[in-house]
Structures are given as structure tokens and as C-alpha cells.
Amino acid sequence: MAAQTGILNASIFKLYLTISETERAVAHSTNVSISVSQEMMAATSKDSNGWDESLPGKKSWTASGDFYHDQVTSGKHNLANIFSSLTAGSKLACTFKLDSQQVDDRYFTGNVYIESIDVNAGVEDNISYSISLKGTGALSFTAYNVE
């Protein structure tokens, strides 16, 4: 099948982590995001005629997500897996992709460390948690191809 077209419903775009060599979606996602940035280096000189000049420098990326806590999940990662990875200082493969990839659908992939976990438990509310991920190395945005 060809790549999905048009504006896509965000419910099918999920965060996948590879923990203990198993890639799985993080269970009960309510929001995921990825941010890519590039630092700018000063390049202004006396020849700049009073204009600020810059050159591209280091690139970096972060990711985050909000999830409902579930003690037992089948086929997905949960808070226990993520907490264990943080305390072990594990480098994880991270992928942002659609639930069912079609040929030429694009997805983000790279390696991350878990930077923080915030657990929330308000009165008469669902237990939820947020995670922040710090990218290490290059992030790619590539097309899915059936092998």
C-alpha cells in the first residue's frame, strides 16, 4: 500500500521505545511530541555592515510524552520498564511512527536517554505520568519500506 495522504489523525502517531531489545509502543499514550533544534554560531564581523550574521552549529533533539499508568500491559511498554531504563542509564532506540506503517510513510528514529519521569495522581483522577527524552546522536526522518 502507498503512503497515507491528507491530514492524519494524531491518535495513530505513537512513541515506540526499544527496551531489552524489544520495540514496543508505550502504553496508553495521550500526547507525544518531538522537538528538533539547531544552535546558531555568531559570524558577525566588521564586514557585516551592522547586520547580525550567523552560521548553523550543533543540532539537538528532545522528545516527550504523556501516558496513563497501567500496572500490567500486554505487548507495550509501561512505567515499570521506563523507570528501570532511567535508573540503569540505558540508551534506548526511540521511534515516532504511525500505528500501521505503509510504504513511504515517514517516521522519526534515533537514540535517547530518559531524562525525567513525572508521575501525577490527583484526587479522583487517573494516575498518569510524563517522560522527557534527550536525543543522543543523529535523528533521522526516513520513509518506511517493506523488507
Instruction: Tell me the pLDDT tens digit for each residue of 111-132.
Output: 999 999 999 999 999 999 999 9
What local confidence, expressed as pLDDT, does residue 129 receive?
97
- Residue pointed to by grid coordinates 536517554: 113
Displacement of CA 52 from its chain's centroid (Å): 33
Pair 91, 110: CB distance under 8 Å: no
pTM for the predicted model, two decimal places: 0.84
pLDDT digits (tens, 9 = 90+) for 13-41: 889 999 989 999 999 999 999 999 999 99
The range of the structural domain enclosing residue 68 comes to 10-39+55-143
Domain annotation covers residue 47 = no
Pair 59, 41: CB distance under 8 Å: no
Contacts of 131 (CB under 8 A, 6+ apart): 26, 64, 65, 67, 82, 114, 116, 117, 118
**CATH number of the domain residue 126 falls in:** 2.30.110.20
**What is the mean pLDDT of the segment spanning 91-117?**
86
What local confidence, expressed as pLDDT, does residue 111 receive?
98
Pair 131, 119: CB distance under 8 Å: no
Count of domains observed in the chain: 1
